[in-house]
Amino acid sequence: MAMAGKLLANKVAIITGSTKGIGFAIAKKLALEGATVVVSSRRQENVTTAIAELKKENLPHLGVACHVGKEEDRKNLIEQTIKKFGKIDILVSNVAVSPHFGLTIGITEKQIDKIFDVNVKSSFLIARDCYPYLKATKGNITFVTSIGAYKPFVGGGWYSISKTSLLALTRVMASELAVDGIRVNCIAPGLIKTDFSKGLTENETIRNKFLEEIPLGRLGQPDDCAGAVVFLSCDQLSSYVTGECISMTGGIQSRL
């Protein structure tokens, strides 16, 4: 377990979709603040790469391959965590897909199902499955939504719709789980430079259009998202914060 003296000392955190990009930045930051982190991805090779990076800095961790849309994989992720560490204090649901870029009317039913199965349904299911353990520790949940939840962007309509659903899920679960001492919040990243967003960040026209709307005048980096999750995960800092969404957008307005 993690050393004392850190903000998240002796906490155990599961982070889904956490072997690169925003998810890995969150996992690493939580670990640097003392948490033992459980990183996961559908692909074992991605898990192996991520845990190698954590090992370089002697950060406490566990790596588990997990497709959060599959019940048996979620069960294994949780069982492996409990078997090794005995509890779960923090859940960060970061997994997401965006199989369609274009007008909303151009999407297929199969693509709609995939977006909602992964971005919304699996986020709820991993939270539901972790619930008994989070109740025992009076833990907390952070969902990763998007600026698109507040300000849908051209070409990403269905992705934005799914992320708006996560805002509602956050508020509903925050209300329902407060009685158990579980806090539920979310973060809404803007345009962050990752492999996931390459279709936007590497298209000069799209990138420049975004930059025109960003007061800070730059794209975000994965690390720009991690500190907010530390804040939301730390009872010392945010014990009275639940049902909220923190945006890191470089200044783009992000309220409905």
Give the 3-state secondary structure of 53-92.
HHHHCCCCEEEEECCCCCHHHHHHHHHHHHHHHCCCCEEE
Strand-pairing partners, residue 142, are 92, 185
d(CA 48, CA 64): 9
240 backbone dihedrals φ, ψ, rounded to 5°: -110, 20
- Residues contacting residue 46 through CB under 8 Å, at least 6 positions apart: 19, 20
Provide φ and ψ at 57, rounded to 5°.
-105, 15
Q: Please pick, among 131, 150, 159, 240, the residue that the annotation labels catalytic.
A: 159
Helix (H) or strand (E) holding 51: helix 44-56
For residue 213, the cross-strand partners are none
**Which residue, chain included where needed, has tokens 């799209």?**
206
- DSSP 8-state secondary structure symbol assigned to residue 102: B
Catalytic residue check, 240: no
Contacts of residue 212, defined as CB under 8 A and 6 or more positions apart, other chains included, come to none
Residue 148 near residue 156 (C-beta atoms within 8 A): yes
Rounded Cα gap, residues 224 and 203, in angstroms: 22
11 DSSP 8-state letter: -
Specify whether the CB–CB gap between 141 and 183 falls below 8 A. Answer: yes
The residues assigned a catalytic role are 159
